[in-house]
């Protein structure tokens, strides 16, 4: 069984005069044949935390300490896992796409999935995709799942399992959150400190609308 964990960093807002609107939006795939190995990275990181932080039991790159970020990322690069990512330069996105945010998200995620399958990075016929729940809307999550499933079946004649979970429900999602956040920092904040830790594991990194 091959596992692909999906997460994003940044937002899909296009009002750049509004505080908090990001210039870049990143979608990242972390894939592995050993889900257990990824889970152990998160477990080891949580155990190393001070007791008051350990009680939370859920890691978030955006709020955790720099030492925690470095620790988890270093654990991950010691495992048999790989990273693919697409960085969307939102300032270059066509106006019509700006008004179709769910489609844009699905489209970018499908590009990554297509690259994995077309390059035959994963030969295993059984693929489980675990994606972070994006919205409170059940429709949007169902739409995302249906879109990817139909694209893979149509283009590759394969069936995949897609599971939508909350961030804290899955350790793999917590791991890919740190990875995606690190890549996002490189582009949005011109800070590649964390990116450099995981760089050796990135097999594809594409800037969309450069």
Q: Contact 10/85 with Cβ under 8 angstroms? A: no
User: Cα dihedral sign for 105, 87, 33, 165?
Assistant: negative
Given a cut of 60, whether residue 136 has pLDDT beyond it is: no
- Which pLDDT value is given to residue 73? 99
d(CA 81, CA 58): 21
pLDDT at 126: 84
pLDDT-derived band of residue 119, with 50, 70 and 90 as boundaries?
confident
Residue-wise pLDDT tens digits, 68-113:
999 999 999 999 999 999 999 999 998 787 888 888 888 889 999 8
pTM of the model: 0.92
Q: Is the pLDDT of residue 143 over 80?
A: yes
**Domains of the chain with bracketed CATH:** 2-208 (3.30.420.10)
Higher pLDDT residue, 30 or 121?
30
pLDDT value for 137? 62
**pLDDT tens across 16-60, in order?**
999 999 999 999 999 999 999 999 999 999 998 876 566 567 999
CA atoms within 13 A on the CB side of 91: 9
| pLDDT score recorded for residue 210 | 85
Region of residue 57 (left: phi > 0; alpha: psi -120 to 50; beta: else): left
């Amino acid at each position: 069984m091959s596992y692909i964990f999906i997460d994003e960093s940044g937002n899909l807002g296009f009002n750049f005069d509004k505080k908090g609107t990001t210039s870049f939006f990143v979608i990242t795939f972390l894939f592995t044949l050993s889900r257990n190995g990824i889970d152990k990275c998160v477990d080891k990181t949580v155990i190393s935390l001070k007791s008051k932080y350990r009680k939370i039991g859920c890691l978030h790159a955006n709020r955790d300490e720099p030492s925690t970020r470095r620790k988890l990322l270093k654990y991950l690069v010691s495992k048999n896992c790989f990273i693919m990512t697409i960085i969307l330069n939102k300032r270059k996105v066509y106006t019509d796409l700006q008004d179709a945010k769910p489609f844009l998200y699905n489209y970018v995620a499908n590009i990554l999935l297509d690259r994995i399958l077309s390059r035959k990075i994963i030969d295993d016929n059984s693929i489980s995709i675990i994606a972070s729940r994006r919205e409170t809307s059940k429709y949007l999550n169902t739409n995302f799942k249906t879109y990817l499933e139909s694209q893979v079946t149509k283009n590759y004649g394969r069936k995949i399992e897609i599971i939508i979970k909350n961030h804290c429900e899955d350790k793999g999602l917590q791991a890919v959150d740190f990875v995606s956040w690190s890549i996002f920092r490189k582009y949005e904040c011109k800070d590649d400190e964390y990116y450099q830790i995981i760089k050796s594991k990135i097999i594809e990194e594409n800037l969309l609308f450069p």
